[in-house]
Structure 1
């Protein structure tokens, strides 16, 4: 070790004082890696190994036409209902993908993945533009309203970039390490990034997967340039109209099927430069290269005797078929017609129309700014997987990867942090199921999963795999921190002298619900009685979940007793301190749903009667101040989408765009036999043992739905009839999803 005595003393003093060592000593103190490595502050090879149980909240399966056997080549299904009864069900998962991938890798679902053949292909398109806008446009009537991203999306992505490239690289590094471990040994990875971060991503991919290169080695295979727009104007530099797709494999053995690109005009003009009398273009190919070589066979051309390497009968047949082309020197060559060619074997420049970017006016457009085309994903999935393989996209956005996978007969897993992304993907996949059904092609059911209360426990520092008694003890220890966090985000003051209440805000007492259970009607009733004894007329109850049907019954009952109760959702955003400190966390009132079942004999239809929300997005006063004369903006205020306009003289007008309650509804679905399927989760204990547990909830089996798309804005308000097999009492679940992607469920009972 080439250090002076003085340097050794200085380093010892710094270590004793707990101070960081200067970077210049790294080469002397530590063994150096054999390859180049990207280093950033806080880099560690350790990644989370948390295992959180997945909660299955919804099962979606468009009924199939029955067959005598009640089976397909892929799975079994119920002959009466046409719904899948066994085999792999595709997964659409809402949550932080770091926790999602870790739980897939280390938890009970890993066995399902292995039973499905292993994860063969992962495509990810992580957000990479520091200035990216994650808002999205929502159509309301003839106007378009811009919905701002959720705070958790804002913090997870934009604020991560704001902390520097190192934060982005670290975020991606953790996830890539987990993806590597989840991939099957013969699996492939495609990572789609832009020029802003491509250099960094290439280095960390080499570190995690290997530099590859030679056949049989794992790691890097290709860097693909994808043309993402026809042209781009950039001041002071060349226009950037392409993005990078890195292609890696986990092992030296992997799937790579032959795929083809369209020929560009220059290639056609250069190689297909001949035309036959009918005008068909062709190129002349060497007969030997075409595999037609043989022995030495004599033939004659224009009286000149030559030797031919192809049997005379083959030569004669090809000549009669018009497939032989003679050069000026009498050399026979094989004609290859342009209209019979598959195309050029795929190269690393993807600028052909077959992988065209999404155009704003196209049927495929879902409104996502970063949406990629189905043709692009078709090429990747066709190239690196086989029918029946399992593929995944952990930044699934609007669901392009999942839609293409289903159409190409692959199994899939999709995950995203954004609630609206999950909702958009759900609608898109239902549309794919319907399209395949109409075409008489097979498709699988899919379930919507989340980490639910287990994710909240994890964020609060409670290990959900611990035994119940230990969990309860830790919960009690952390209760004050949890309450302080929620009340701080709600901008309420903590109080101790008014049990069972935890805080107060603007004359209202505040009650914070539990982290791992819904707020019930009985809890609201007890809180109302306590408020009456304290002579308080306003009560705010905050919860992550609320018992179904709690609105408006609990509020009406409280109002009759002189207490106004506001029920508000606690968003996941509260667990990010940065979001709380910035005052960005929004608590939304629980929506109101009214439905009416109509019974005719053993048949029932459900009518959606009313739906109410109480959202607000902007400070209207500040918005008006910021508007220039002649300008306008659409916003949300007091549960209405309104257009604020300031004319050229500065006069302000307000137009309500949500003319009817149904304008708020983007999607609604019916489960005609709710509570017939308990939600069972598999929990991995701290010692590695697994157990099954009932969450207390039920899986919503989506049997009928109506929803809006960008192309079709109408919405059915009455369901199709459902025939029950026998008389009795049934509970019907109705799920409504509003134009922001938030869902509300109500359960009603019918007697037949």
Structure 2
């Protein structure tokens, strides 16, 4: 934000508590968002014969759904900012940084009225660098490695969650291009049901660049589906410009309004249409062009879409106070438009720069424009799987231990003195929140004694245990080795190691988050806030550090 802009009021801390725990997820069989019947989702005319389409979406497992390839990671979200606009009584909007699949899995079913997404197109390009930030890795290269099937599997898992989140009257718009739109439609037919397909919208535009070897590709495809047949859609709320028809008479009425009219040959009734009222939109849109390089709304985001395009979608498919979501929010265009139109919103992106940019864009929009017109709710910036280490280290001891245990896939359990939780049948010990703290030999011996008092030790001679901490003193390592040599206990140390964002290991970590090759035991990341800069404009004050929670010291 420039110095001339008013500094936004930022209240650190969440709406309710420092960390928001994920909701419990039921088994696939018990969930209400089952796939539609697949045997007859596509019914072609008899003359066409059979259509060879798989019965289930790519990546779907009949027993575990998409959780077989993309297991549930039950990490909490951390609210790192609450940007206030003077109306704390209103429910805040939410902006997430993290993998959208896992963020969506924590949101309640049937809670969203409209979803618009502009996912990365399957164009074979490497989406490694956003905004020239050499340390930003928003790479989908692992997705492309699987070819079109790999891309569709990755997208299907997310579309499935979006269907669950939609209200019964809700709808979803998926923005895509010629590379994959036809493949995506087939998959959406399976997930949403062929009968819930509403429109294939063609957005036509003119941009620089022509081809002599092909007809120049100057359109995108937007697929519109509903969750049920009781969806909301009122296309009259966003008319298109009316073009002159050479078969009609043109005139001007007594108020100076230009119109065209025709006379019905049989009834002699005169029909009149005013140009300033426009006409109902067709399924091809030619009245919205790409963003001009000099346009005020242009922010330089690589895949930024024009506001009028998203405005039409939000206007016709939602009403005031409805919840609009974009889980690939990028530069925040859809969220900014939703804010202008008095909609509630949820945004998510895996790019830290995108989230910082969106937070700044929404703040400036409210402060400079709409905040003076009507009451605006606060919004929160929340991290999933990526946490501010300083904020974490200031937590009360019991909350810190509970958080680390959940992140490690363990369950808090203090029924046995000296043991903080269990991972399966293995006792877990968690050190102090202070990042400078080190586990001592005394703590190792106390944990070993606690293990020896357990029933599993006394009856089955199970001696293993795990200690999680920021660091371990040399005497602690020696004590663990001595206990192992004496065959008393077998303790493993897991250190919370911080890795800077410019380190290659952090890039590998981010690249793995969105793919079915991810190491789901290694999702915990800690952050410390420095500056995020995009070009010359300072957007926010944040920096990021990863913690490898599965790093063993020996």
Both structures adopt the same fold (TM-score exceeding 0.5): yes
Per the TM alignment, residue 88 of structure 1 is displaced from its structure 2 partner at its CA by 1.5
Per the TM alignment, residue 252 of structure 1 is displaced from its structure 2 partner at its CA by 1.2
| Residues 87 and 376 in structure 2, CA contact (< 8 A), matched pair in contact too | no
| Residues 98 and 383 in structure 2, CA contact (< 8 A), matched pair in contact too | yes
Per the TM alignment, residue 477 of structure 1 is displaced from its structure 2 partner at its CA by 6.8
| Residues 436 and 442 in structure 1, CA contact (< 8 A), matched pair in contact too | no
- TM-score, length-normalised on structure 1? 0.48
Match of 1:347 in 2: 282
Match of 1:169 among 152, 158, 161: 152
| Residues 201 and 221 in structure 2, CA contact (< 8 A), matched pair in contact too | yes
Match of 1:449 in 2: 382
C-alpha distance in structure 1 between counterparts of 2:405 and 2:353, whole Å: 21
Per the TM alignment, residue 184 of structure 1 is displaced from its structure 2 partner at its CA by 0.8
| Residues 386 and 527 in structure 2, CA contact (< 8 A), matched pair in contact too | no
| Residues 207 and 218 in structure 2, CA contact (< 8 A), matched pair in contact too | yes
Per the TM alignment, residue 580 of structure 1 is displaced from its structure 2 partner at its CA by 12
Determine if the alignment matches structure 1 residue 263 to structure 2 residue 249: no
Match of 2:304 among 351, 366, 371: 371
Q: Which whole-Å deviations, capped at 9, do the CAs of 1:323-371 have from their partners, x for residues lacking one? A: xxxxxxxx56354442xx321101100111xx33222322212221111
RCO greater where, 1 or 2, for CA within 8 Å and sep 6 or more? 2
| Residues 543 and 570 in structure 1, CA contact (< 8 A), matched pair in contact too | no
Determine if the alignment matches structure 1 residue 54 to structure 2 residue 56: no
Match of 1:274 in 2: 250
Number of residue pairs matched by the alignment = 416
Determine if the alignment matches structure 1 residue 121 to structure 2 residue 124: no
Match of 2:409 in 1: 463
| Residues 411 and 423 in structure 2, CA contact (< 8 A), matched pair in contact too | no
Determine if the alignment matches structure 1 residue 192 to structure 2 residue 175: yes
Match of 1:86 in 2: 89
Structure possessing the higher radius of gyration over alpha carbons: 1
Q: Which whole-Å deviations, capped at 9, do the CAs of 1:641-697 have from their partners, x for residues lacking one? A: xxxxxxxxxxxxxxxxxxxxxxxx557xxxxxxxxxxxxxxxxxxxxxxxxxxxxxx
Match of 1:237 among 196, 205, 214: 214
Match of 1:415 in 2: 348
Unaligned runs of 5+ in 2: 1-36, 43-52, 390-402, 429-443, 445-465, 478-494, 519-524, 547-554
- TM-score, length-normalised on structure 2? 0.63
Q: Which whole-Å deviations, capped at 9, do the CAs of 1:285-325 have from their partners, x for residues lacking one? A: 55999xxxxxxxxxxxxxxxxxxx9xxxxxxxxxxxxxxxx
Q: Which whole-Å deviations, capped at 9, do the CAs of 1:444-486 have from their partners, x for residues lacking one? A: 100011223699999998436665789844399799xxxxxxx
Match of 2:197 in 1: 220
C-alpha distance in structure 2 between counterparts of 1:580 and 1:170, whole Å: 12
C-alpha distance in structure 1 between counterparts of 2:167 and 2:526, whole Å: 45
C-alpha distance in structure 2 between counterparts of 1:205 and 1:366, whole Å: 32
Determine if the alignment matches structure 1 residue 333 to structure 2 residue 333: no
Unaligned runs of 5+ in 1: 1-30, 63-82, 139-145, 213-218, 290-308, 310-330, 480-499, 501-513, 531-540, 547-566, 582-587, 594-610, 612-664, 668-708, 716-734, 745-752
Match of 2:541 among 736, 744, 748: 736
| Residues 271 and 283 in structure 1, CA contact (< 8 A), matched pair in contact too | no
Q: SS in structure 2 opposite 1:205? A: helix
C-alpha distance in structure 2 between counterparts of 1:247 and 1:263, whole Å: 22
| Residues 542 and 569 in structure 1, CA contact (< 8 A), matched pair in contact too | no
C-alpha distance in structure 1 between counterparts of 2:382 and 2:270, whole Å: 60
Match of 1:33 in 2: 39
Match of 2:358 in 1: 425
Q: SS in structure 2 opposite 1:166? A: helix
| Residues 92 and 446 in structure 1, CA contact (< 8 A), matched pair in contact too | yes
C-alpha distance in structure 2 between counterparts of 1:515 and 1:448, whole Å: 32
Structural mapping, 1:705-720, within 5 Å: 713=537
Judged with a 3 Å threshold, the aligned counterparts in structure 2 of structure 1 residues 195 and 58 are, in CA distance, closer, same or farther, namely same
C-alpha distance in structure 1 between counterparts of 2:405 and 2:229, whole Å: 39
Match of 2:133 among 141, 147, 152: 147
More strand by share: 1
Per the TM alignment, residue 158 of structure 1 is displaced from its structure 2 partner at its CA by 2.3
Determine if the alignment matches structure 1 residue 99 to structure 2 residue 102: yes
| Residues 263 and 344 in structure 1, CA contact (< 8 A), matched pair in contact too | yes
C-alpha distance in structure 2 between counterparts of 1:666 and 1:173, whole Å: 32
| Residues 52 and 103 in structure 1, CA contact (< 8 A), matched pair in contact too | no
Q: SS in structure 1 opposite 2:244? A: helix
